[in-house]
Structures are given as structure tokens and as C-alpha cells.
Amino acid sequence: MGNFQEKIIFIWDLADLLRGVYKRNEYQKVILPFTVLKRFDCVLNDSKKAVLETYNRYKGKFENMEPVLLNAAKDKNGNPLGFYNYSKYDFKTLLEDPEHIEQNLMHYLDCFSKNVQDIFENFHIKDHIARLAKADLLFLLIKKFSESKVDLHPDVVSNHEMGTIFEELIRKFAEQSNEEAGEHFTPRDVVKLMTKLIFVENGIHLKQKNLVRLVYDPACGTGGMLTSCKEFIMSINKDVDVVLFGQEINEEIYAICKSDMLMKGEDAGKIKGPLSTLSKDQFPDMKFDFIISNPPYGRKWEQDKDAVKKEAERGFEGRFGAGLPRINDGQLLFLQHMISKMKIKEKSRIAVITNGSPLFTGDAGQGESDIRKWMIENDYVEAIIALPDQLFFNTGIHTYIWVLTNEKPSERVGKIQLINAVSFFKKMRKSLGNKRNYLSDDDINEIVKLHDKFEKNKYCKIFDNEEFGYTRVTVERPLQLNYRVSEERLENLYSVNAFAKLTESKQKDPELKLKEEEEGKKKQEEIITALKTIGDKLYKNWDEFEAKIKDALRELDLSPNFIKNIILALSEHDDSADYVLDKKGNKLPDPKLRDSEKIPLKQDIKEYFEKEVSPYYPDAWMDRKKDKVGYEINFTKYFYEYKPPRPLEEIEKDIKEVTGEIQELIKEEL
């Protein structure tokens, strides 16, 4: 492992060569593709001679040389690599002709198989080769990458270690340039936990013969989650045919993922990108056995808005039938997307990471709540695990793993398990970005055990689905106002839209515009003068005051709605005033006093109202036509533990100690 870490440090230090020619935040645009290129160069070394001989033997004899060259490109054990390069050059021979290194390197790239060329096109490596050559850095960089310290042959650096090298370089570059490293990969300890949770009930089923299992990650980053899933399945049954599918939006990260998959012998054609999963799903007709992901959180989906809204209009024929969250966070869109990818007549399982927002953001009737309602009422949510903070490279916040399925075991039907694992972690010896904590194997096993046992205890709560639902009931209180024509209340007229608009003009001609504005001001003065004839007596009955207002304004030809708004501007709430009634004699509600109550689904609404509202507001009533059902999952409420405040004596003692220390420091300064 020391040698492995040494390679990371050496490659990282190569970025110093670029200083002056590239900005700090551009270093990765060179180092990452050249690291990938070096890995390809090392992997191809075992069959380099055979591929060259094959190319020279059959050149011009076949219109399509690809099948022949693919057959010649093998690892040292004779296994097909799935890619090739028929150039005579490699990192070593490129150095033998410094004068033509740019042209030779370009030729070397052009001789790769198409699947590899796609990778380097997404890295835009040719642009950087030209830029490096112009700055006289290309030869030096190739020379550095040719040193033994950067031997990336599979015998020296395993596929697993190579993936970690990529991730560590991405993290370090992102940290240096203030970018979001954790968008592209998830720490291995968290991935390990998610993998175990997604397969916890499938051990027996995975031991069957002739199995094919499809694994999908809609925001696959560097592909670590997909690889982890395959390794887990193969550890149970090596004969399972595990097919990996992924989609990634970032060009460079997509290129790394695809190259990593190629070198691991996977079908890299099943890694799609660089495209947004929300707006350009590359697997529209596919369903998967296992879906695992860490989609971006707190990220706007504005760039996908048109496509997402169009998809939502299809209802449940599309991916977003349950609703749309607010534009600043697309996590619940990813959750819906993943659920849409579950198989219909077979069991599928999902493990996905989110922050706290999808658990409780949005009230009843809003998009987020409607999506939760759909997920819970369809019994997709199996478990939610609250993780410790400071687990991720790019954020220190608490995160949650959702475990979803379309086929729960009988004991879990209609129930959701919450696991509070915030205390299950170990401190890292050295921080990596925001990652200061990690999940040890013991922590992971304990969390999986809590999930598997499905028993209530200090860390585990089990609830019926309905426990998370509530009815938001609108509570109205009667409109009671007093009325007075006073100087203070007359000022409120200027906030009445119709009154204020009297002085506005749409005329373009300046003279006509000024004339209309002056006429409007005159009309306002006439209204105020007429109102003052009523006097400043206080009224407590709408009808009585309305009659006075209409009588005072009868010559001014104002609409009934205008008069109504004038009355409201001259009024104030008064509990001792008469109720304002409609034409049928019913009490009108006061919009300013309107409130709502969240009443649990399992509770009788009428009983709740009589117990919790009526004693305090006897004249209040419920407008049941406005009822809306919502769902939220408040972890804090379910795992809250009361901690009494510290004794005053203890606090006072601490203050005295700190004060004494400060006084001593002041004496030393003097």
C-alpha cells in the first residue's frame, strides 16, 4: 500500500510542471487524462507486439480491422482486453523522437479502438497536447509519466487501487480549486455500507445458477458503486453474470468511469454520457435488479426544467408522475427516476444517499410532500438510515441512506424502519477535505445487523406507513372589525390598488399623461374629502359602516369592489366587534387569522379539533374542502432524547475559571 500511495503523491506532484501555463483549477484537465493514458499504455503492454504483428499482417486485407485487433489484444493470461492500440508508439518510444513527440502522440491516440478514442475526446486531450507542446512541456510530462514510479501495470496496481488513485486525484484537485469533489464519487466506507444494505436480503437468491443481474447507477461518477456491487455479488456466487449500467453528466468523470470499466473488462458501452439523467435518460426502456446512487443534493435542476416538465405531463407513464420538487433541489426527481427503473414483475432494490431535505421539505399539497406520499403509500420505502456527519469529502452535513424496494418481506409490508446511526463512526487520523469521520467494518456490520434484525431498540424504530402522514386542515376564525375615518387610517387608502392606480396613466403623450395623473389626484382628494364627512366615530358593524360609506361616496361612481376595499382599509381587527356576515348570514373568515393544523392520519380530525383548537378559539371552524394529505419524516422527533441543562453552579464555575485565565494573560502582557 505504501507503493500505491507513493504513486498518488508522485502523480499529484506532476501538476507543478504546469504552473504558469495552466491555472490551478485547470491542472486536473491534464493530469487526469494523462494518468488514464498511462494506465492504458501499461495494460496494453502484454499484447503490444501481437497487436502490431496482427495489424501489419492484415492491413488492407479487411475493411473492418476491429474484430481481428480485438482478438489480438489480450492480458498476460490470454483474456481479451476489449480495446487495442495498433500504433508502434508507447510512452517509452515516444521519448526517442523528441522533435516529433506532438505528431507521434497524436498518431498514438488515433490508433486506439473507437471506445477508447471516445474517452479521450471527452477529456479534450488533443487540445491539451497542442498547448503543452507549444509551452515545451509535452516531452517533459511524458518523460515524468514514463518513470518507474508511475508504473501502472495491473501486476503493480490492481483495478481496485487504480480506481482509488483516480478518486484521490479528483478529490485533491477539487479541494485545491474549491470545487465539489464529492459530487463524483462516494467514500469507500459509505459505498460498502450501501452495498451490504442493498444485498442484505439477497444472499440466498444470488446463489442460484444461471443468474443474470443488472445493476444501475444514474449518477455513476467514477463508477465506484457499480464496481462495489459487482464485487459483492461475485463474492457470493462467481457464476452470476453481473451487467453494469451507468450514466454521468461530467465529461472528465464520465471519461474516467468509462476507461476504468474498459480496463476492468466491463462493457464500457453501457456507461453513458456526458448527459443529464433527468433530461436525457439513456436507458428509457430498461429495468434493473439493483439500483445504487449518490445523486447531487441541493443542486438546481433548472437546466433540465423543460424536459422534466414535459416528462411529468405524461403522469405515471413517465418518470415523474408523483410531482415535481422546487427548482433548487432535484433529489426527489432522482428518487422517482430510480423507482421508475425497478422491474415490474420481479424484485428490485434501491440504495440511495440524500441529505435531510427530501425527508421533510414541502408542506401537504406541495411537490416534495406529494412525492413522499406516493413513495410511502405505494410501500416502496423499506428503511432510512441516518449517517454520522463529516463522512463525505465535500460536505460535513448529516446524510441519509434510503433503502427502497418493490417487494417487501411479509414482516416489513406497510412499515418503515428508521435507524439512527449518527454515533456509529471512528475519527480519522487525518482529515480528507470535510471527511473527518469514517465507518469502520464494525460500524458497518452493526448498522446492517440493526437493519436485518428489524427489532425496535435505542437505535431502531419501526412505524406503520401511516405514522408519517397527516391531514393539513385549514382553521378559520371569524372576521371581526371596527371601522373609523381617521387621518391615520385614511393613509391606508394609498395601499389599495384601485385607489393608487387613479394617478397612473398609460398615455405616451407627456401632456395627456400629466393631465390624466392630475385628474387622478383630484379624484383621490374628492374621495378623501367625501369620507371625512362621516366623522371619526368608531363603528363595530360592517353593514352600518358600509351604509355610511356608500352614502358619502354616492356621487363618485365607484364600483362595489372599490368600496369594499375602502372599508377594509379603514378597518382594524377587534374581538369585541360584530361578526362580518355574507348574504346568507354565514360568518366570513378573517384571512389574517387563517391557520392550519397538521393532524396525524391515525387521529380522528373532529376529536383533535375539539381537544386542541376549540378550547382556545371557541368560534373557530374547519374548512374541510381545503384538506390536504401530506407526508414527512422527522428523524429528530423520533429519536429525540431530552438532555437537562447544565446546573448553574457548574456554568458559573467555568466562567470564573475562564475569567481567571484571561486576567492572568492580561497581567503577563502588562
| pLDDT tens-place string over residues 404-415 | 999 999 999 999
CA geometry: angle at 108 spanning 105 and 111, to 5°? 155
C-alpha–C-alpha distance, residues 166 and 257, integer Å: 9
pLDDT for 68 equals 92
Query: By C-alpha distance, which of 352, 367, 432 is closest to 399?
Result: 352
Cβ–Cβ under 8 Å, residues 290 and 215? yes
pLDDT digits (tens, 9 = 90+) for 143-191: 999 987 888 999 998 888 888 888 888 877 876 655 554 455 688 899 9
pLDDT for 2 equals 47
Paired strand residues for 584: none
pLDDT for 201 equals 64
- If residue 200 lies in a helix (H) or strand (E), which one and from where to where? none
590 burial via Cβ count (<10 Å: 0-12, 13-18, 19+): middle
Supply 661's cell numbers: 485565565
Following CA atoms 232, 395, 163, 192 in sequence, which dihedral angle do they give, to the nearest 10 degrees?
A: -10
Paired strand residues for 435: 432
pLDDT for 644 equals 78
- List the chain residues with pLDDT less than 70: 1-4, 175-185, 201-204, 668-670
pLDDT digits (tens, 9 = 90+) for 548-560: 999 999 999 899 9
Whole-prediction pTM = 0.86
587 burial via Cβ count (<10 Å: 0-12, 13-18, 19+): middle
3-state secondary structure at position 316: helix
Paired strand residues for 404: 350, 381
C-alpha–C-alpha distance, residues 485 and 569, integer Å: 10
Query: By C-alpha distance, which of 539, 563, 569 is closest to 551?
Result: 563
- If residue 241 lies in a helix (H) or strand (E), which one and from where to where? strand 241-247
pLDDT for 179 equals 54
**SS3 annotation, 431-479:** EECCEEEECCHHHHHHHHHHHHHCCCCCCEEEEEHHHHEEEEEEEECEC
3-state secondary structure at position 389: coil
